[in-house]
Chains A and B, each alone.
Chain A
Amino acid sequence: MDNPFKGSDVVSVLDFSRRDLELLFEYADRAQRHAGSKLDALRGKVVALAFFEPSTRTRFSFEVAAKRLGADVISVSGEEATSVAKGESLADTVRMLDAYSDLIVVRHRYEGAAKLAAEIAESPVVNGGDGWQHHPTQAMIDLYTVLKLFGTIDGLNYALLGDLRYGRAIVSFLYGLTRFRPGAVYLVSPEPLRPRREVLAKLGELGFKCEATCSLEPIIGEVDVLYVSRVQKERFPDPAEYERLRGSYVVNLRTLSRAKPGLKVLHPLPRVDEIAHEVDGTPHAAYFYQASLGVPVRMALLSLISGVEI
Chain B
Amino acid sequence: MSSEVSRFARIRSGTVIDHIPAGRALEVLRALGISGREGYRTIVLMNVESRKLGRKDVVKIEGKLLDSREVALVALAALSATISTVEDFEVRRKVRVSAPDEVEGLLKCPNPTCITNKEREPVRSRFRRVGGRPVEYQCAYCGTMVRLE
Contact = CB atoms under 8 A, between A and B. Distances in A.
Interface residues of A, number: 21
Interface string A189-230: 000000011110100000000000000000000000000000
Interface residues of B, number: 19
B106 interface: no
Nearest to B138: A198
A197 to B, nearest CB: 6
A201 B139 CA distance: 13
A183 interface: no
Interface string A118-149: 00000000000011110000000000000000
A111 B121 contact: no
B145 interface: yes
Nearest to A11: B141
Contacts of B130: 201
Interface in A260-294: none
Nearest to B130: A201
* Chain B contact residues: helix, strand, loop or mixed: loop
Given A116-B141, A198-B143, A198-B145, A91 B113 contact: no
A45 interface: no
B142 A112 contact: yes
A111 B111 contact: yes
A173 to B, nearest CB: 17
A110 B145 contact: no
A12 to B, nearest CB: 9
A196 B145 CA distance: 10
Interface in B94-149: 111, 113-116, 118, 120-123, 130, 138-145
A87 interface: yes
11 contacts: A87-B120, A91-B123, A109-B113, A110-B113, A111-B113, A111-B115, A112-B142, A113-B115, A116-B121, A132-B113, A196-B143
Interface of B: 111, 113-116, 118, 120-123, 130, 138-145
Given A111-B143, A198-B143, 18 more contacts: A90-B118, A91-B122, A91-B123, A108-B115, A110-B115, A110-B118, A111-B142, A112-B115, A112-B139, A112-B140, A112-B142, A115-B115, A116-B121, A116-B141, A130-B115, A131-B142, A196-B143, A199-B143
- CB-based closest 6 A-B pairs: A112-B141, A111-B142, A112-B115, A198-B143, A89-B120, A110-B115
